[in-house]
């Protein structure tokens, strides 16, 4: 009777020892850069795949055979779609492999990468009220709604439905332009603070009351941060760093996402000028008999320049989620957002370009107004897709990142 009991205890001890060895092997897992996507060769990568390897020798490789590769995307990271979990990354590019040698990692052999990375589960985002990406999408939805209302005010009278209401038209355009300006600025702030979006809430509260914008940023709550903070960065510090949320500043000019958001912000600012000069009594005689030179310079030209900036920004955001600059990524939500914004940007640009001759030709005026109408709906489609994108994190389809 005693021998089976002894055998059982030995088996339990052996299982416990095996479990500890397995956990130790997984803890020692180091991720190597396997594939890096760089749509434009002179800018930073926009995607990366890290393959797990064990730092404990060949004998431990079997324990991580079923460990999935880690995917990273610059847009998904910026939009807060990935959970923050630390992974250990080694930077050992193959000799002559330039695609990996220029990856922007700290100059340490083994580092702790506290970045948003893909995991298997899909979940609804919590605490959306403090999610800057959510508010970017909401503001663009509201702005697109204002532009659609403006389009109806302009287009229906041309169809013989209703009468011209210039004050309503001008003020709806001003509201739409102001909301686009706010949304574009928040896009810029979002890109400026990529990886530290959790500081948006404290920073916003700091604007409303006495508080500090500088808060400690520790390890992820769903990771073994206690172990991660001890020596894995190669510097021996505690791993806890302090970041200050930035409302203004300059990011990396080689970061495609930041570059697109920066162009978007200035394009919205220039376009906003036309919504101000289009208000009642700002330009004398507008819109029936205004001074041609003043109207062209201060009303139509800002629309053309701002719309052109929207086109450039939309193209950059589309390229960001593509593997090649010329190859569309139809499986990505980010690509479709950029595409519909591109359609809207072309419409706004055409509206301004045709507007120069709108007073002298009724046909040109019709096409100018029609461009605003369909462009507003295109912006709405892109904004709704973007809102859906920000509601979820860890989307399983790999192309939707």
- Please state which of the ranges 1-5, 55-59, 162-166, 391-395 shows the lowest mean pLDDT: 1-5
Task: State the virtual CA torsion across 383, 44, 88, 321 in degrees, nearest 10.
Answer: 30
The answer to whether the beta carbons of residues 380 and 144 sit under 8 Å apart is yes
Query: What tokens does 401 get?
Result: 């990142």
Rounded to 5 degrees, φ, ψ at 104 are -85, 75
Phi and psi at residue 10, in whole multiples of 5°? -65, -40
Neighbours of 142 (CB within 10 A): 17
> Which region among 27-41, 58-72, 198-212, 260-274 has the lowest average model confidence (pLDDT)?
58-72
129-180: pLDDT as tens digits: 788 999 999 999 999 999 999 999 999 999 999 899 999 999 999 999 999 9
pLDDT of residue 2 exceeding 60: no
What's the first-to-final CA gap in the chain, in angstroms?
60
State mean pLDDT over 222-251.
55
pLDDT surpassing 90 at residue 202: no
Residue 232 DSSP class: T
Given this model, what pLDDT does residue 383 score? Answer: 98
Q: For residue 111, is pLDDT > 60?
A: no
* Mean of all residue pLDDT scores within the chain: 78
Please tell me the distance from the alpha carbon of residue 176 to that of residue 190, in angstroms, as a whole number: 21
Mean pLDDT, range 198-224, rounded to an integer? 60
Q: What is the mean pLDDT of residues 69-89?
A: 75
Are 279 and 237 a contacting pair, CB within 8 Å? no
Does pLDDT of 19 surpass 80?
no
The percentage of the chain sitting over the pLDDT mark of 70, rounded to a whole number, equals 66
Cis bond upstream, residue 287 (ω within 30): yes
**53 and 64 Cβ atoms separated by less than 8 Å:** yes
Q: Are 20 and 28 in contact (CB under 8 A)?
A: no
pLDDT tens per residue, range 295-318: 999 999 999 999 999 999 999 999
User: pTM, whole model, 2 decimals?
Assistant: 0.78
What's the rounded mean pLDDT across residues 204-219? Answer: 60
Nearest CA to 194 out of 64, 43, 81, 54 is that of 81
Lookup: tokens for 202 = 């404290």
* pLDDT bracket for residue 388 (50, 70, 90): very high
What is the mean predicted confidence (pLDDT) over 254-280? 97
Mean pLDDT (whole number) for 327-333: 95
């Amino acid at each position: 009777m005693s021998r089976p009991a002894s055998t059982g205890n030995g088996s339990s001890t052996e299982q416990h020892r095996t479990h500890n060895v397995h956990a130790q092997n997984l803890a020692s897992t180091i991720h190597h850069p396997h594939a890096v996507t760089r749509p434009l060769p002179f800018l930073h990568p926009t995607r990366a795949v890290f393959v797990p390897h064990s730092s404990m020798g060949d004998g431990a490789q079997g324990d991580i055979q079923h460990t999935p590769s880690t995917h990273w995307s610059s847009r998904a990271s910026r939009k807060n779609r990935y959970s923050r979990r630390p992974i250990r990354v080694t930077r050992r590019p193959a000799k002559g492999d330039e695609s990996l040698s220029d990856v922007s990692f700290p100059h340490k052999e083994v580092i702790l990468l506290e970045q948003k990375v893909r995991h298997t589960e899909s979940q609804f985002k919590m605490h959306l009220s403090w999610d800057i990406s959510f508010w970017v999408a909401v503001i663009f939805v509201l702005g697109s709604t204002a532009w659609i209302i403006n389009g109806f005010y302009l287009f229906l009278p041309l169809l013989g439905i209703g009468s011209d209401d210039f004050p309503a038209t001008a003020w709806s355009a001003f509201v739409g332009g102001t909301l686009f300006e706010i949304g574009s600025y928040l896009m810029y702030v979002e890109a400026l603070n990529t990886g530290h979006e959790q500081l948006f809430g404290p920073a916003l509260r700091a604007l409303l009351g006495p508080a500090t914008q500088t808060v400690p940023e520790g390890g992820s709550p769903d990771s073994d941060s206690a172990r991660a903070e001890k020596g894995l960065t190669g510097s021996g510090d505690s791993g806890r760093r302090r970041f200050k949320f930035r409302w203004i500043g300059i990011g990396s000019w080689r970061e495609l996402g930041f570059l697109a958001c920066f162009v978007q912000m200035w394009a919205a600012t220039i376009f906003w000028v036309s919504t101000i000069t289009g208000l009642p009594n700002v330009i004398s005689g507008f819109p029936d008999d205004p001074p041609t030179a003043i109207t062209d310079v201060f009303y139509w030209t800002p629309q053309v320049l701002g719309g052109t900036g929207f086109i450039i920004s939309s193209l950059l955001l589309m390229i960001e989620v593509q593997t090649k600059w010329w190859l569309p990524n139809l499986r990505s939500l980010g690509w479709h957002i950029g595409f519909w914004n591109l359609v809207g940007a072309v419409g706004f640009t055409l509206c301004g370009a045709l507007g120069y001759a709108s007073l002298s030709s009724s046909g040109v005026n019709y096409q100018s107004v029609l461009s605003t109408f369909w462009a507003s709906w295109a912006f709405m489609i892109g904004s709704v897709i973007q809102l859906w994108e920000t509601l979820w994190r860890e989307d399983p389809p790999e192309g939707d990142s």
